Structure formats: C-alpha cells, structure tokens
Amino acid sequence: MDRIRLFCLPYAGGSAQFYMNWKNYLSPEIELYPIELAGRGKRYTDPIKNSIEEIVDDIYEKVKNEIDKMPYMLFGHSMGSLIAFELSHKLIAKNHLEPFNIFISGRKAPRITANSKSYELSDDNFKELIFNMGGTPMEILNSPNFEELFLPILRSDFKAVETYIYQEKNQKLNSMLSLMYGNYDEIDIKEITPWKEETSKDTKVYEFLGGHFFIQNNIVEITNIINKTANDYLKKI
C-alpha cells in the first residue's frame, strides 16, 4: 500500500498531543506525524523559541531525515500555518521533497502584517484575550499550574507570530493549499484568500461552523477533507 505522511503543527500554546486522536479518523494509508515544538510535551526541557524563524530552524532539524521518505502533507492551525509555510520554503531551499498539499487553518495570509502586541499585555489582560479566543476555560487560565507552565509558552508563541515579518520569496510554493476557517472567527475571508498568491498550484477554501478553534469541534469534517486529498493524490501517482 502506498503511504502518505501528515505532519501536523500546533497553534500558539498547543502541543503535538492535540492531533493524536486524529489517527482514529484518518485513512489507513495516512501516517500521522504530529510535530512537538520546543518547551512543551516530550520536549518540555528544550528552550522555548521566540521567533518563527527559530521555530522553523528547530523543526527542520527534527524532520529533515524523515521528510523525503514518502509523499507528505502539512497541516497547521493558526501559528502552525505560518510555521508550515516558512518550513516549506526552507525545505525548498534545502532541496527536499515539497509537500503536495498544505492545510492552512485559521490563519490570515502571511503578507498581511500584524498590528498587535498582545504578548506585552499584563497577565490578566492576556488571559482574558486567550479566553475570548475560545478553547480554554477561565478556571484553567487562572490555575497556578497554567500561570507557571503555560503562560510563558503562550507569550513566546504570540511574540513569534506578532513580530513575524514577511519576506518576499524567490519562488512560489509548488503545493496545493487547502484554506480552512471558522465562520465566527475574527479572521475575515478576505484575509484568508490571499494565501493563493503564495502557490503556483490550486487552492481550495473550506468554511466551518465555529470561531478560531473550530478545529476542536469539526474533526470528522476536517479529516474527511484530508482523507479525500490524500486519496485524490494517490490516484494520480
């Protein structure tokens, strides 16, 4: 049986663990490969990276010996989408196999500059921001464990995203893009569709019911799209 790998990149403050149950929904030919970022999960003791560039360089060292073994796709949500984009360009620069599809979830196009500095907010205001984004109950945000272990990671991730500066690329991606967004997210569809400027291949747009963390409640729908994308690719090779 032909195999395909699905490398998954987490959102700000997230870890590889979020994606682990996706294997129950993915087709047998898809090998799930959640990527753990420094400072969390099994890499808890590794120093946290403070910029998208540092994160990408770190991930590249972890996957460079795995990336060419079989055709693969990348999935990233929010910050993970930005990482997937820059990682793809680094892989191109290093003459690796490109992903045949990148799933961009809950993230505006990279050319659209961030104007906020949320990472500089006070603890209370920062936690309120996280709560309003959905996905994290306030009782968890106010727990001593969260403030000690996870708040520094979230701040670092927000800083990485909000200080990211798009650099014009020498060439476009040669990967299909699947753009996903929640219909109640603050990110507007007009901020999603410019992703098509970053690739020479086709793009597809998928709307889901939900806010920024629509991926939590739409696992079946999302993995069905991933399965179909993989199946369509395998039919062509």
pLDDT tens digit sequence for 136-160: 777 888 888 877 788 888 899 999 9
* pLDDT classification of 1: cutoffs 50, 70, 90: low
In CATH terms, the fold of domain 4-111+169-236 is Rossmann fold (3.40.50)
pTM score of the predicted model: 0.93
Cα distances from 53 to residues 20, 30, 68, 104, 234, in angstroms, run 26, 28, 22, 18, 32
* Nearest C-alpha neighbor of 83 from the set 49, 40, 44: 49
pLDDT: which is higher, 16 or 145: 16
* pLDDT classification of 117: cutoffs 50, 70, 90: confident
Query: What is the rounded average pLDDT for all residues in the chain?
Result: 92
Distance CA 199, CA 173 (A): 4
Per-residue model confidence (pLDDT) at position 152: 87
Domain residue extents for the chain: 4-111+169-236
* C-beta of residue 176 within 8 angstroms of C-beta of residue 102: yes
What's the mean pLDDT in 52-60?
97
Per-residue model confidence (pLDDT) at position 237: 80
* pLDDT classification of 135: cutoffs 50, 70, 90: low
Q: In the predicted model, is pLDDT for residue 107 greater than 80?
A: yes
Distance CA 202, CA 199 (A): 8
In the chain, the percentage of residues whose pLDDT exceeds 70 is 99
Cα distances from 33 to residues 2, 4, 18, 23, 148, in angstroms, run 16, 10, 12, 10, 28
What tokens were used for 21? 């149950």
Per-residue model confidence (pLDDT) at position 121: 79
Tell whether the torsion through CA atoms of 172, 113, 51 and 18 is positive or negative: negative
Per-residue model confidence (pLDDT) at position 201: 97
Per-residue model confidence (pLDDT) at position 114: 74
Distance CA 48, CA 180 (A): 28
Phi and psi at residue 41, to the nearest 5° = 55, -135
